[in-house]
Homo-oligomer: A and B are copies of this chain.
Amino acid sequence: MTGKLIGVGLGPGDPELMTLKAARLIASAPVIAYPALPGTESFARRIAAAHIAPGTREIVMDVPMTRERAPAQAAYDLGAARIAEALESGHDVVVLCEGDPFLYGSFMYLHARLRGRFPVEVVPGVTSLTAAAARAERPLAARNESFAVLPATLDDASLRRRLGEADSAAILKVGRQLARLRVLLGEMGLLEQAVYVEHASLPGEVVLPLAEAPDPAPYFSIILVTKGADPWLKPRS
């Protein structure tokens, strides 16, 4: 009998935004695996720390953040091989993943390498998108409204078209694109509907009107654009 590969979403950063299921699976895991930036403490492990039992085996994947893909791919190749070894010897492996495993989560890279060979379970987590909306107190979408998740690297024409069509949007990985996005949203008349969020739910959290956001922004910051104004949201009076 091989073990099960379990990808577990940890939520946006506040350890209390982990699900009960994630906490239970982590606490009972014989083996956990997680990525870390080389030379630093793993953020995923830090979120999960209170639930990791003494004696749990830990597989650390040192994943460098580089522009070229090869070094990170090699890190996931190696991590997948080490996880496969544990699964083959009959141990379940719980992979810790910030946010949700299948929405920009690192677990996708291991899943792509190991699916088909082992039983898999994926445990969804709270995403940084809805955490940002919660902290900024900005409803994202109601009833028949649409919502777009857009990387900041999209070109101006694409962003303009897609922001124009969606009722609300989250622009991810803002970083150095902040100044460009501020100009673009200003030209579209959306500056007042735009809010900047960084580190939602964490001690270093920042929530600001986009006009006051720092430039450049940290890589993992978010701009929420909430045009959605479903009249049902308003009282009847």
Contacts and interface: CB of A to CB of B under 8 A. Distances in A.
Interface in A105-123: 108-109, 111-113, 115, 120, 122-123
Contacts of A17: 19-21, 123-124
Interface string A213-237: 0000000000000000001111111
Contacts of A150: 146
A133 interface: yes
A72 B232 contact: yes
A11 B19 contact: yes
Interface stretch (A27-35, A53-61, A95-103, A188-196): A95-103
A135 B138 CA distance: 28
A117 to B, nearest CB: 12
Interface of A: 9, 11-12, 14-21, 23-24, 69-70, 72-74, 76-77, 80, 100-104, 108-109, 111-113, 115, 120, 122-127, 130-131, 133-135, 137-151, 153-154, 158, 161-162, 165-166, 173, 201, 231-237
7 contacts: A12-B124, A80-B235, A108-B142, A109-B232, A112-B234, A146-B149, A147-B149
